[in-house]
């Protein structure tokens, strides 16, 4: 099956082209092509997953062999010095996992959008970009070399831009789209520098080749490995991760990205694209695990992010923004986890993808019914939207890490690994992660009460959404509830578990067993319970606006409402004031009033010099040779004078002077 | 004469003869001039394709070579040939001229006069193509100067309100540079162990270290000034925005698409191989100026209010990436530079076409007056502008990406000689700033798209119902759109042509 794995990204890519070319003339507006191609891609992904699973389980049960990897590549272009850009695939556990997650969630979103985007003017365009996004995300997942990965990475970014700005008539939306693109692109400076530096060190983009060289402790040309340069590259890549996976302090674009259609938020800004940074680190995990400085960086960034974003979710009134900050916070968990453990990081990526997609699509269903994003206009929806409520509740419990739902197992694993790692970073992640768990439960309890309990406060009569929307919710609720069991921390089960399926090497799997830590789990559950009790006590009466307890925290509320003032820093101060309104005009002023003036003065001055020569030598008729020179100058000047603008008499004389100077120089030299 | 020997001469001469023929079309039938010019440019493009098809991809070195005496008393030869470095630019020049001929059916700026305009355009074609196949310094210089005259008239007669200032500035500034270059050529001629203008022979002398370091320093400076003004490199770029802002659409397309590349091509073909020691000395300076151009060009773009002037300034930054690639003195850098040249020719050529049509439909190029919502009023035009702008900001998957990323790649590991001279850190810092430049580039293009394409259109455009892209425009643009999209996933279309010869020419720098 892995031989056909290249089809998984190619099918949606082809579908995007077909939709763009023919979609408008098709009865379903092109959606049917997108859905069909994803069904096939999903089935192929299942096939790949089974094949990888079978092979890896063979290795883990036997205790020997290697983790499954299938690679194939052809040269795309030579670039000089024998180096080349390749188009190649690398199918292993990580790829199989991403394939399954991306194709499944994308398929659900494709189906869900039939109802949600029904009647949109640019329906076909929407599906074309959605398919293109899926293809790019799958390309990123299957790439066997960093250049291809970077291409997929940038393409998902542009699709995200196009979809955030889908309703570009409103400046609010296009502002959000630009902010998202530029913020992630700023992070991509790090990605580019990192990829370029890795190429510079190893003279290849191929991930497997780089692993092999690092294993042997060499770099290009057989020289001993420079660990400093490797750390530099890996930390530069982390900047890319911080941008793309919305880590503090570059997370500010993600809540704004909620301006896009809600299914897009589910797919791109919750389940898949934002995990690209996490994926990148996982993909290069053998390098990161050999570089303590880079791992510590990850742990610290992740820990700060998970807490900072969780706090921001407390004061949001827009249901999508609560979920957006929750996503940032959960991404923080993933990044922090990669500071210690490959499996814990990607397992949380996997489970979170399902339940967060479910929550966003549920939110879309709610917004569809209430005609508002604001929780003030909701309330009492549990009664009128039973399916939406039921599935949303499953997603919420999974996010709250209530056992035995998906989020419990994956989040617990992160805390266990952090506890096991110990040290400053381990303790930091453990403590902040545990507190973050409490905060998560608290803000989700708040959300549940404000949206579903009590009476409806909005306008009109909300009703349950059509089956095209509720069926994907049900389909996503199943893995949200159960997928956590895939990595049950029981020794006898582990050879058949998620950790075996996705392992990057057998040795890693053997030396990093997934374990259960009762004290950690007990504390986490107790904190979650505390969060729920507190949330219920404060929000059972559905306090709104000024009555909201989160608005009565004085300066803390202000800091959170101003989002730590980071938007003022990035958008207002740096982007608008410093770059756009100061640096740009200053550059133009330097250009027009200085550089161009010098050109003018040189020209005009020489022109005047020529005129003077003419006046003196020609008028006074001193000698024949100089007379000729002067005549030449006069001729030029006269030509120039024909031009209406008198200020260009200039350059001709400069030319003459230049010839003389150079002739002298060469004669002398 | 075999086809092998005469192919280039025929191809280069055809537009020149065509220029005469077009000029001779009787005035009463002056619209026939358009048809005639189109046929000639199609013929030229077909010939260039025939050269492309007959080109031996596996081989390195010169092909279609012809070397006969011209002014034998002075040792000047008519030496023409083509190799992997010049082939992409050579073909591109014919393609763009043909597309300009098609576009001229749609629109020629005031005062019209198609015979004169198209005749000049064909004359320009000969000059541009000639630069890429000349292997004799004097021949190169003749073609180089030949380009100036028609472009001067194009800007000066068919240009915008401030055309005469722009035309003279363009002409004299470039001429000033080329005088320095000519003096350097003469100096090389007299200093070479065997007096010759032959570029191949001079390259061999250069590789063999026949030119003293002190001499190289001065000669390189002369050539550098000539080429740097043409590219244009910062801070010699101020003629460019004026020339572009005033030039007619066809003039802008060819100016950006081909003329600028004559400068960068000159570095690759002449300056580096003939004067390798000086190249190593100047490379850090060139690299610094290139990165300044990238950042500075982008900042200037942020402050532009005129769409066409914005595109013109964007060229400063893009040519900065090309020069950064060249400054690394590595095969990857030169491949990047050639890729960047072609991609910039395709993308920026397209952007100038688009800005011409926007001016035609909306009667303004001022971003504020366009007022947004172009995706509503003229959706196809808006889509093409969006696509091309995204390509121009270097998005992977489209043509603009490879030139930038490969230049950065090369800058991280510049030529061994530069590393030995202690410039490794400098180039790595330049690489980081170049990468930062890509963010600024994205910034001004996205902001432009927001202000021009997105939002609700002003009522006056809704009422005016400007016509969307017409069939002539589709004809002129389709090849550029195809190339913009195709060069992204298929980069070998350029690098497979250039790689062998680039590797060969750059061995002098320890690569």
- Give the model confidence (pLDDT) of A228-264 as tens digits: 999 999 999 999 999 999 998 999 999 999 999 999 9
What are the two backbone dihedrals, phi and then psi, of residue B334, each rounded to the nearest 5 degrees?
Answer: -70, -40
| Helix (H) / strand (E) containing A620 | helix A619-620
DSSP structure string for A380-410: -HHHH-HHHHHHHHHHHHHHTT-TTSHHHHH
Instruction: Tell me which residue of B311, B320, B349, B327 sits closest to B449, measured CA to CA.
Output: B311
- What is the DSSP secondary structure assignment for residue A224, as one 8-state letter? B
Residues on chain B touching A155 (C-beta within 8 angstroms): 395-397
- The pairing of strands A69-80 and A83-92 is antiparallel
Whether residue A79 and residue B406 make contact (CB cut-off 8 A), yes or no, is: yes
A188, A595, A663 member nearest B183 (Cβ): A663
**What is d(CA A277, CA B265) in angstroms, rounded to the nearest whole number?**
39
- Give the model confidence (pLDDT) of B406-415 as tens digits: 999 999 999 9
Mutate to test the interface with A, among B186, B310, B442 (most CBs of A within 10 A): B442
Q: Left, alpha or beta for A481 (phi > 0: left; psi -120 to 50: alpha)?
A: alpha
Residue B24 exposed, middle or buried by CB count within 10 Å (0-12, 13-18, 19+): exposed
What is the percent of chain B with per-residue pLDDT over 90, rounded to a whole number? 83
Which one is predicted more confidently, A346 or B29? A346
- Give the model confidence (pLDDT) of A408-459 as tens digits: 989 999 999 999 988 899 999 999 999 999 999 999 999 999 999 888 888 8
What's the gap in Å between the CA of A84 and the closest CA on chain B?
Answer: 10
- Give the model confidence (pLDDT) of A77-133 as tens digits: 999 888 999 999 999 999 999 999 999 999 999 999 998 898 888 999 999 999 999
Whether residue A662 and residue B446 make contact (CB cut-off 8 A), yes or no, is: no
What is the percent of chain A with per-residue pLDDT over 90, rounded to a whole number? 55
- Give the model confidence (pLDDT) of B431-485 as tens digits: 999 999 999 999 999 999 999 999 999 999 989 889 999 899 999 999 999 999 9
What's the gap in Å between the CA of B438 and the closest CA on chain A?
Answer: 8
Whether residue B454 and residue A168 make contact (CB cut-off 8 A), yes or no, is: yes
B-facing residues of A in 71-90 (CB < 8 A) are: 75-81, 83, 85
Q: Name which of A522-531, A606-615, B331-340, B416-425 the model is least confident about.
A: A606-615
pTM for the whole structure: 0.92
Burial string for B323-346 (b: 16+ CB within 10 Å, else e) reads bbbbbbbbbbbbbbbbbbbbbbbb
Whether residue A81 and residue B303 make contact (CB cut-off 8 A), yes or no, is: no
Residues on chain A touching B506 (C-beta within 8 angstroms): 80
Residues on chain B touching A580 (C-beta within 8 angstroms): 302, 443, 447
Q: Tokens standing for A599? A: 């050109």
CA distances from B470 to B118, B355, B357 (A): 21, 14, 10
pLDDT at A357: 94
Cβ contacts below 8 Å, chain A against chain B, sum to 199
A617 pLDDT tier (thresholds 50, 70, 90): low
Q: What is the mean pLDDT of chain B?
A: 93
Q: Tokens standing for B45? A: 């493009």
**Closest chain A residue to B156 measured between Cα atoms?**
A643
What is the percent of chain B with per-residue pLDDT over 70, rounded to a whole number? 100
Instruction: Tell me which residue of B397, B249, B237 sits closest to B318, measured CA to CA.
Output: B237
User: What string of H, E and C letters represents the secondary structure of A258-277?
Assistant: HHCCHHHHHHHHHHCHHHHH
| Helix (H) / strand (E) containing B67 | strand B63-71
Mutate to test the interface with A, among B169, B219, B314 (most CBs of A within 10 A): B169
- Give the model confidence (pLDDT) of A215-238 as tens digits: 998 998 888 999 999 999 999 999
Q: CA-based Rg of chain B, rounded to a whole angstrom?
A: 22
Query: What three-state secondary structure class fits A669?
Result: coil
A-facing residues of B in 142-201 (CB < 8 A) are: 162, 164-165, 168-169, 172-173, 175-176, 179-180, 183-184, 186-187
What's the gap in Å between the CA of B288 and the closest CA on chain A?
Answer: 17
DSSP structure string for B207-258: HTT-S-HHHHHHHHHHHHHHHHHHTTPTTS-THHHHHHHHS-HHHHHHIIII
**Closest chain B residue to A649 measured between Cα atoms?**
B168
Q: Name which of A533-537, A660-664, B129-133, B498-502 the model is least confident about.
A: A660-664
* A404 prior amide bond cis, ω within 30: yes
Place of tokens 């007669």: B157
pLDDT at A669: 46
Burial string for B262-279 (b: 16+ CB within 10 Å, else e) reads bbbbbbbbbbbbbbbbbb
Q: Left, alpha or beta for A422 (phi > 0: left; psi -120 to 50: alpha)?
A: left
Residues on chain A touching B331 (C-beta within 8 angstroms): 79-81
User: What is the sign of the dihedral through the CA atoms of A9, A251, B317 and B479?
Assistant: positive
**What is d(CA B375, CA B377) in angstroms, rounded to the nearest whole number?**
6
**What is d(CA A156, CA B79) in angstroms, rounded to the nearest whole number?**
50
What's the start-to-end Cα distance of chain B, in Å?
A: 38
B442, B492, B499 member nearest A76 (Cβ): B492
Interacting residues of B212 by C-beta distance below 8 A, sequence separation 6+: none
- Cite the DSSP H helix spans in A339-465: 342-370, 381-384, 386-399, 406-421, 423-452
Q: Tokens standing for B464? A: 């005016």
B165, B454, B503 member nearest A80 (Cβ): B503
Residues on chain A touching B511 (C-beta within 8 angstroms): 80-81
Q: Tokens standing for A556? A: 């803390």
**Closest chain B residue to A597 measured between Cα atoms?**
B238
Interface pTM, i.e. ipTM: 0.93
User: What is the sign of the dihedral through the CA atoms of B138, B142, B148 and B149?
Assistant: positive
Neighbouring C-beta atoms of residue A285, cutoff 10 Å: 22
- Give the model confidence (pLDDT) of B191-245 as tens digits: 999 899 999 999 999 999 999 999 999 999 999 999 999 999 989 999 999 999 9
Longest dimension (CA), chain A: 110
B-facing residues of A in 638-667 (CB < 8 A) are: 640, 643-645, 647-648, 650-652, 654-655, 658-659, 662-663, 665-666
Query: What three-state secondary structure class fits A650?
Result: coil
Residues on chain B touching A171 (C-beta within 8 angstroms): 450, 454-455
Mean pLDDT of B343-350: 96
| Helix (H) / strand (E) containing A87 | strand A83-92
- Give the model confidence (pLDDT) of A447-481 as tens digits: 999 999 888 888 888 889 999 899 999 999 999 99
Whether residue B456 and residue A169 make contact (CB cut-off 8 A), yes or no, is: yes
């Amino acid at each position: 099956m892995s031989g056909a794995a290249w089809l998984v990204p190619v099918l949606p890519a082809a579908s995007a082209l077909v939709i763009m070319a023919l979609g408008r003339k098709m009865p379903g507006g092109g959606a049917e092509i997108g859905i069909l191609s994803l069904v096939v891609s999903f089935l192929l992904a299942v096939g790949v997953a089974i094949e990888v699973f079978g092979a890896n389980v063979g290795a883990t049960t036997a205790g020997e062999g290697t983790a499954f990897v299938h690679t194939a590549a052809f040269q795309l272009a030579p670039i000089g010095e024998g180096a080349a850009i390749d188009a190649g695939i690398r199918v292993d556990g990580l790829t199989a996992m991403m394939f399954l997650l991306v194709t499944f969630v994308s398929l659900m979103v494709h189906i869900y959008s039939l109802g949600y985007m029904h009647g949109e003017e640019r329906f076909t365009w929407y599906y074309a970009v959605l398919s293109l996004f899926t293809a790019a995300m799958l390309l990123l997942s299957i790439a066997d070399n960093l250049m291809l990965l970077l291409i997929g990475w940038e393409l998902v970014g542009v699709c995200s831009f196009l979809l955030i700005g889908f309703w570009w008539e409103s400046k609010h939306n296009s502002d959000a789209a630009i902010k998202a693109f530029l913020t992630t692109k700023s992070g991509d400076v790090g990605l580019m520098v990192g990829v370029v530096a890795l190429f510079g060190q190893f003279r290849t983009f191929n991930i497997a080749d780089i692993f092999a060289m690092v294993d042997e402790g060499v770099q290009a040309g057989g020289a001993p490995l420079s660990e400093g340069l490797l750390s530099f590259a890996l930390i530069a890549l982390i900047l890319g991760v911080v941008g793309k996976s919305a880590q503090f302090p570059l997370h500010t674009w993600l809540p704004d990205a909620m301006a896009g259609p809600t299914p897009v938020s589910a797919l791109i800004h919750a389940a898949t694209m934002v995990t690209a940074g996490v994926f990148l680190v996982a993909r290069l995990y053998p390098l990161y695990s050999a570089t303590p400085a880079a791992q510590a960086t990850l742990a610290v960034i992740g820990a700060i992010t998970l807490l900072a974003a969780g706090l921001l979710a407390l004061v949001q009134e827009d249901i999508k923004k609560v979920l957006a900050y929750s996503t940032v916070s959960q991404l923080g968990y993933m990044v922090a986890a990669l500071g210690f453990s490959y499996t814990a990081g990607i397992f949380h990526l996997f489970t979170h993808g399902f339940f967060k997609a479910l929550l966003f699509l549920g939110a879309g269903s709610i917004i569809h019914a209430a005609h508002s994003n604001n929780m003030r206009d909701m309330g009492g929806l549990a009664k009128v939207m039973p399916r939406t409520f039921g599935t949303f509740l499953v997603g919420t419990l999974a996010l709250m890490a209530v056992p035995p739902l998906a989020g419990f197992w994956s989040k617990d694993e992160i805390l266990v690994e952090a506890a096991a790692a110990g040290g400053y970073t381990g303790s930091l992640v453990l403590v902040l992660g545990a507190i973050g768990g409490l905060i998560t439960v608290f803000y989700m309890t708040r959300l549940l009460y404000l949206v579903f309990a009590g009476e409806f406060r909005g306008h009109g009569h909300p009703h349950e959404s059509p089956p095209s929307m509720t069926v994907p919710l049900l389909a996503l609720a199943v893995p949200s509830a159960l997928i956590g069991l895939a990595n049950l921390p029981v020794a006898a089960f582990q050879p058949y578990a998620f950790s075996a399926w996705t392992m990057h090497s057998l040795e890693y799997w053997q030396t990093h067993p997934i374990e259960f830590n009762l004290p950690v789990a007990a504390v986490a559950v107790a904190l979650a319970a505390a969060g729920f009790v507190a949330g219920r006590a404060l929000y059972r009466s559905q306090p709104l606006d000024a009555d909201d307890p989160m608005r009565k925290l004085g300066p803390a509320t202000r800091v959170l409402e101003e989002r730590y003032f980071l938007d003022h820093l990035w958008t207002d101060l740096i982007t608008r004031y410093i770059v756009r309104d100061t640096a740009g005009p200053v550059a133009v002023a330097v250009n027009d009033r200085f550089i161009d003036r010098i050109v003018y003065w040189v020209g005009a001055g020489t022109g005047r010099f020529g005129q003077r020569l003419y006046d003196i030598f020609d008028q006074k008729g001193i000698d024949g040779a100089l007379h000729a020179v002067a005549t030449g100058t006069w001729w030029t000047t006269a030509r120039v004078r024909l031009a209406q603008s008198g200020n260009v008499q200039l350059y001709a004389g400069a030319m003459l002077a230049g010839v003389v100077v150079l002739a002298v120089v060469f004669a002398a030299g | 004469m075999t086809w092998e020997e005469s192919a280039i001469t025929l191809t280069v001469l055809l537009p020149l003869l065509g220029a005469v023929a077009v000029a001779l079309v009787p005035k009463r039938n002056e619209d026939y001039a358009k048809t005639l010019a189109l046929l000639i440019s199609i013929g030229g493009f077909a010939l260039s394709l025939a050269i492309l098809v007959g080109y031996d991809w596996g081989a390195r070195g010169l092909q279609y070579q012809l070397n006969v005496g011209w002014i034998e008393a002075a040792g000047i030869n008519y030496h023409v040939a083509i190799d992997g470095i010049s082939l992409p630019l050579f073909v591109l020049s014919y393609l763009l001229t043909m597309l300009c001929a098609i576009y001229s059916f749609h629109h020629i700026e005031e005062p019209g006069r198609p015979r004169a305009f198209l005749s000049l355009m064909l004359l320009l074609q000969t000059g541009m193509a000639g630069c890429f196949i000349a292997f004799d310094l004097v021949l190169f210089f003749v073609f180089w100067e030949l380009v100036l005259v028609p472009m001067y008239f194009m800007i000066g007669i068919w240009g915008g309100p401030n055309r005469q200032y722009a035309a003279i500035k363009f002409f004299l500034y470039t001429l000033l540079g080329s005088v320095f270059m000519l003096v350097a050529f003469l100096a090389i001629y007299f200093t070479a162990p065997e007096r010759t203008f032959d570029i191949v022979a001079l390259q061999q002398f250069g590789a063999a270290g026949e030119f003293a370091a002190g001499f190289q320093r001065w000669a390189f400076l002369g050539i550098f000034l000539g080429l740097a003004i043409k590219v244009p490199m910062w801070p010699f770029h101020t003629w460019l925005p004026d020339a572009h802002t005033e030039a007619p659409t066809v003039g802008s397309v060819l100016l950006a698409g081909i003329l600028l590349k004559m400068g960068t091509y000159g570095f690759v073909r002449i300056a580096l191989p003939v004067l390798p020691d000086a190249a190593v000395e100047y490379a850090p300076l060139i690299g610094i100026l290139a990165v300044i151009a990238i950042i500075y060009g982008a900042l200037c773009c942020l402050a532009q209010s005129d769409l066409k002037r914005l595109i013109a300034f964007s060229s400063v930054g893009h040519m900065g990436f090309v020069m950064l690639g060249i400054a690394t003195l590595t095969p990857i850098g030169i491949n990047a530079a050639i890729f960047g040249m072609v991609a910039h020719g395709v993308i920026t050529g397209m952007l100038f076409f688009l800005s011409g049509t926007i001016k035609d439909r909306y009667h303004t190029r001022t971003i504020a007056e366009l007022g947004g919502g172009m995706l509503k009023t003229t959706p196809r035009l808006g889509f093409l502008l969006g696509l091309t702008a995204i390509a121009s900001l270097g998005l992977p998957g489209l043509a603009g990406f490879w030139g930038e990323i490969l230049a950065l790649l090369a800058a991280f590991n510049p030529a061994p000689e530069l590393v030995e001279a202690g410039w490794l850190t400098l180039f790595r810092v330049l690489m980081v700033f170049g990468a930062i430049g890509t963010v600024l580039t994205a910034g001004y293009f996205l902001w432009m798209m927001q202000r021009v394409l997105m939002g609700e259109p002003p009522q006056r455009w809704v009422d005016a119902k400007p016509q969307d892209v017409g069939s002539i425009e589709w004809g002129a643009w389709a090849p550029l759109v195809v190339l913009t999209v195709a060069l992204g996933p298929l980069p070998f279309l350029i690098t497979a042509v250039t790689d062998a010869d680039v590797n060969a020419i750059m061995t002098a720098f320890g690569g």
